[in-house]
Amino acid sequence: MHTDGPDPALPIAVFDSGVGGLTVLHECLVSLPEEDYVYLGDDARFPYGARSAEDLSECVRRNTAFLLDRGAKLIVIACNSAAGAGIEPARELAAAGGVEVVAVIEPEAEIAAAITESGRVGVLATPATVAGGAYLRALGRQHRELTVTQVAAPDLAAIIQRGFPFSEAVVETVRSYCAPLKRARVDTVILGCTHYPLVRPMLQRFLGREVRLVTAGHAVAAGAQRILEAEGLESSNEKEGEYRFICTGDAAAFRELGTRFLQMPLGEVERVELAD
């Protein structure tokens, strides 16, 4: 247990390129309801999945520095593209204050490797995440033989971000992304973007009910809980903690769309400008 680390009364800080990471925050609120949270949606720079690795790394540095400056006892990178490109810079920044960083990719890889029966695992993710190879590396560390099929879905996060209802053209787009995974006969698919759980029923229909879908939320929440317990950073709250939201784009639009992703009211959203 660290005695010179962050104050246990500080919040857990979560960030993403927009509202997608709210699917991860939702699981944290359910699993660790007594904790306080601050969520940063960098929606002015959405989508991260189309950005270069260098650009993503800088986004991660900027967001991490901002949240540490505001006060945080744990940083959660709730964006697969950002985690793949910038987790090491985030950890370097956070380590100076004794703060640890949890990201979405490794926990998903651990679960997928544990539950696949055939060893054939699919990854559905943004082009940046696929090109970066973070899932291939994470799955390669799981000490078992796996055959991995990656599919880049360049439009899917933006489609989900724009909101419902979906047209027949959208349905056909999602079906086309699932086709290579079906041909590869995978039995487990990692949803490698925090937006994707919002279309889980559609994905399950196209992939088949026997295919297991792995999402980040539950695994990240479990990882956060292990760190807090190990470091003695659990909240002393005896009732539900508070959560608040910050965005870099349009606050009203963030609140409206975010309510559907979080499945809970957001309340007031603070808008900030983070310089490039």
Q: Domain 12-104+217-271 classified CATH 3.40.50.300?
A: no
pLDDT at residue 275, as a whole number = 79
Distances in Å between the alpha carbon of 25 and those of 1, 38, 42, 102? 25, 10, 15, 12
Q: Is 158 left (phi over 0), alpha (psi -120 to 50) or beta?
A: alpha
CB 93 within 8 A of CB 75: no
Query: What are the residue ranges spanned by the domains of the chain?
Result: 12-104+217-271, 106-215
247 carries an active-site annotation: no
79 carries an active-site annotation: yes
Strands in the chain per DSSP E = 12-16, 37-41, 74-77, 100-103, 120-125, 147-152, 188-192, 212-214, 243-247, 269-271
- Flag residues of the chain having pLDDT under 70: 1-3, 164-165, 276
Distances in Å between the alpha carbon of 228 and those of 3, 73, 75, 150? 13, 9, 11, 33
Fold of 106-215: Rossmann fold (3.40.50)
- Count other Cβ atoms within 10 Å, centred on residue 211: 18
In this chain, the answer to whether the domains covering 12-104+217-271 and 106-215 adopt an identical fold is: yes
pLDDT at residue 2, as a whole number = 46
Residue 105 has which token pair?
């990719």
By the 10 Å C-beta count (0-12 exposed, 13-18 middle, 19+ buried), 180 is classed as middle
Catalytic residue among 28, 79, 178, 247: 79
CB 39 within 8 A of CB 63: no
pLDDT tens column, 84-140: 888 899 999 999 999 999 998 998 999 999 999 999 999 999 888 898 899 999 999
- pTM for the full predicted model: 0.86
Distances in Å between the alpha carbon of 238 and those of 72, 243, 244, 264? 20, 15, 19, 21
Cα separation, 57 vs 36, in Å, equals 27
Using a pLDDT cut of 90, give the percent of the chain over it: 70
From the list 173, 119, 118, 166, the residue with the least C-alpha distance to 151 is 173
Residue 15 has which token pair?
């960030």
What one-character-per-residue DSSP string does 36-75 give?
-EEEEE-GGG--GGGS-HHHHHHHHHHHHHHHHHH--SEE
3-state class (DSSP) for residue 168:
helix
Catalytic residue among 28, 59, 178, 193: 193
pLDDT at residue 1, as a whole number = 44
pLDDT at residue 246, as a whole number = 98
pLDDT at residue 164, as a whole number = 63
